[in-house]
Homo-oligomer: A and B are copies of this chain.
């Protein structure tokens, strides 16, 4: 909507360290628990809790067990941001 996208993601285990130079990124936990590590600490989100990671801030999502998360970012944003493309990188144009 209006140049932004909602993405529903299923996370388990460690994501990669990355940042998004051009977009803030909002995480809203729909089911389970999500920890977001920062270089200077970590925040744990329970179901129904949300956090906005400002553009340019390095972070690494982690879920000990499967977690369902709504992610909100600018359209076309690569999920792994400035990290080298890898197994966790998905097509930003994919729709469900």
Which A residues lie at the B interface, using CB under 8 A?
1-2, 4, 6, 23-24, 26, 28, 30-31, 48, 50, 52, 54-55, 70, 72, 74
Contacts of A55 in B (CB 8 A): 2
What does DSSP make chain A's interface, helix, strand, loop or mixed?
A: strand
Q: Do A2 and B30 have beta carbons less than 8 Å apart?
A: no
CA distance A74 to B52 in the complex (A): 16
**Distance to closest chain B CB from A72 (angstroms):** 7
Q: How many copies does the complex hold?
A: 2
Q: Do A48 and B30 have beta carbons less than 8 Å apart?
A: yes
Tell me which of B6, B30, B50 contacts A26 (CB under 8 A).
Answer: B6
Q: Do A74 and B6 have beta carbons less than 8 Å apart?
A: no
Q: Using A28-B70, A70-B28 as known contacts, say yes or no to A1 and B52 having CB atoms under 8 A apart.
A: yes
CA distance A74 to B3 in the complex (A): 11
